[in-house]
Amino acid sequence: AAAAPQPTVRKEKIVADVVGSAPSAKVSNPSKGESVVSFKQLLDEKVSSSDWTWDRALKEIMNDPRYSLLPFTEKKQLFTEWISTKKETEKAEEDAKKQKIKDAFFSLLKEKLDAHVIDRRMSWRKVIALVQDDARYKAVGSDSHQHEEFFQCFLDEMDKKDREIKSEKSKEAIKLFKTKLATDKRITLHTQWRKLKEECLADSILSCLDFSAALSEFEEFMVGLEKKEQERLDKHKEELKREGRLA
């Protein structure tokens, strides 16, 4: 007896089942976009690792109706792109997880630093005894080198912040110093840098000056004063000459 013919699965029925369309709203000619979306959904559901090869994935997806929606070459290309995206996503998630652990560990160290339990001059070996019972320490894992690396990163970050704060204070101080030069009538051609520096050091804000930069500003200001004084003297001489001619 002839074998009974195998029932055919119409493409529009597959799309209706996959996309969730009601039977009365079956798509007779499913769009390329719908087919692509369905195939990607299939990969999301069946492919559990970004390390899978195409051959490994085939074993899990080839019997699903959504597998038949696209030509073979397109399916393989979509799979390659999907794997690449999944790897990027997994890496981003792993990086975010590590960063969260690192941030928590930094928070632990900052708390201990602010409470003067530890200080920046301590060796890592001494710091361990003071933080190792905290959950944020344990979350880093069992690799002691990772803990020490994070600790060094923490110190580097603190040093960087200190430099940034010092730089900002220095910039603000140099602005105030230039204002002082321009407005303080006590500063004349006879003002000595040594005495002016001592005055600045006694000021809570000006003490943050980069004094090498401040000296350059002072010298430039003195040159300006000398120029103005010479212009004043020249003008006075001209006036005396004019008065002599008129006498």
Distance (Å, rounded) from C-alpha 205 to C-alpha 209?
8
Q: If you ran DSSP here, which 8-state letter would residue 139 be given?
A: T
In degrees rounded to 5, what are phi and psi of residue 38? -65, -40
Q: What is the pLDDT of residue 29?
A: 67
Beta strand ranges found along the chain (DSSP E)? none
Tokens (6 digits) for 1: 């007896």
Distance (Å, rounded) from C-alpha 107 to C-alpha 110?
5
Residue 41's alpha-carbon distances to 34, 37, 45, in angstroms, are: 11, 6, 6
In angstroms, how far is CA 164 from the centroid of its own chain?
Answer: 16
Burial label, 10 (beta-carbon count in 10 A; 0-12, 13-18, 19+): exposed
Q: What is the pLDDT of residue 144?
A: 85
Question: Dihedral of the CA atoms 104, 110, 115, 119 (nearest 10)?
Answer: 130
Return all residues near 151 (Cβ < 8 A) that are at least 6 apart. 109, 124, 127
Q: What is the pLDDT of residue 59?
A: 94
CB atoms under 10 Å from CB of 42, counted, come to 23
In degrees rounded to 5, what are phi and psi of residue 26? -60, 140
Q: What is the pLDDT along the chain (247 residues), one digit of tens a residue?
A: 444 444 444 444 444 444 444 333 344 467 999 999 999 999 999 999 999 999 999 999 999 999 999 999 999 999 999 999 999 999 999 999 999 999 999 999 999 999 999 999 999 999 999 999 999 999 999 888 999 999 999 999 999 999 999 999 999 999 999 999 999 999 999 999 999 999 999 998 899 999 999 999 999 999 999 999 999 999 988 888 887 776 6
Q: Considering the entire predicted model, what is its pTM?
A: 0.63
Distance (Å, rounded) from C-alpha 106 to C-alpha 68?
52
Tokens (6 digits) for 151: 């600790």
